[in-house]
Structure 1
Amino acid sequence: MKLRTAFLIPLVAGSLLLAGNALAQDQSQSTPTSDTTSTTFNSPKGQVTINSQPAAVPDAGPAPDFATLSGGKKSITEAQAAAYPPLANDFEYADSNRNGSISKAEYQRWVKQMH
């Protein structure tokens, strides 16, 4: 047996093993295109649908004035911020000094950044 034949046999055997693994892969799943908003997959418990489009953002309307939210006090608490959902969502961001309440200056800065 020649030396090149000794190298050729393991090379061919390795190629066949890798080709078998490549052919054994599941080819049935398609890659979603950019036009689709959902895709479905089959699972042992049934069909699963995955939606790729986020829900629409509800319109909360214009921000109320500081006095309305604070109840006439010097700051807005987290409980008071719940009356205006966008502020409740951004409470930690709007509370720039991290003291647990939003001052009038912090609120005005937050409203300005919103628009």
Structure 2
Amino acid sequence: MKRSKMLLSMVAISSLQLAGAAWAQDSSMPPQPASPPQPQSQPLMPPPPPPQGQSVNPPAPPPGSTDPQQMQTQATPPPQPGQSTAQTTTNQGVQVQVNSTMPQVPSGPAPSFEQLANGGKSISESQASAYPLLANDFKYADTNRDGRISKSEYEAWVKKS
């Protein structure tokens, strides 16, 4: 009896595996979408020289263009404190300078608790956005993690910062 159950189980498992393999081979693959043709890059060739005796002025580049000649004539301001500068050269041989700075955050004396809480007993996260330094440190200032800053939490945060 045990032997027949085991044999029957093996036959059932084998037939399921065979049917699964046949089904997997039978299903046709969906057609691959045709990829758009890649644009062929052509080397940049300078325009032919004008005929002798004629002068041709090039058209003015549109505003905001990245014309290499126009970019080279722009003055580069001196770096300011807290500013980082990077220079690189593009494939076309144009030198590019990138300047970045941190935004100025208004600092100074912290506003009073009453002013930020609008007369309430605590400061919510949306109310803290009125003072960017507190909004940045909201989770740090909220020591009991209740989502609100009490007057004692605010005063402790002001002393630490």
Question: Same fold by TM-score, threshold 0.5 exceeded?
Answer: yes
Question: Deviation per CA, 1:22-81, whole angstroms, max 9, x where unpaired?
Answer: xxxxxxxxxxxxxxx423112348644343x74364333311111111112111001111
Is residue 107 of structure 2 the alignment partner of residue 49 of structure 1? no
Which one has a larger percent helix, Structure 1 or Structure 2? 1
Of the candidates 54, 60, 64, which is equivalent to residue 111 of structure 2?
64
Q: 1:48/1:94 Cα in 2 relative to 1: closer, same or farther (>3 Å)? A: farther
1:59 and 1:75 mapped to 2: Cα distance?
A: 23
For the pair shown, which has the larger CA radius of gyration, 1 or 2?
2
Is residue 124 of structure 2 the alignment partner of residue 77 of structure 1? yes
Partner of 1:104: 151
Query: What one-letter code is carried by the residue in structure 2 that aligns with 1:49?
Result: Q
CA contact (8 A) 2:87 2:98 kept: yes
Q: CA RMSD in A?
A: 2.5
Partner of 1:86: 133
TM-score by length of 1: 0.56
Q: Which ranges of structure 1 fall in alignment gaps of 5 or more residues?
A: 1-36
Q: 1:44/1:80 Cα in 2 relative to 1: closer, same or farther (>3 Å)? A: same
Which of 1 and 2 has higher RCO (CA within 8 Å, sep 6+)? 1
Query: What one-letter code is carried by the residue in structure 2 that aligns with 1:74?
Result: K
CA contact (8 A) 2:105 2:132 kept: no
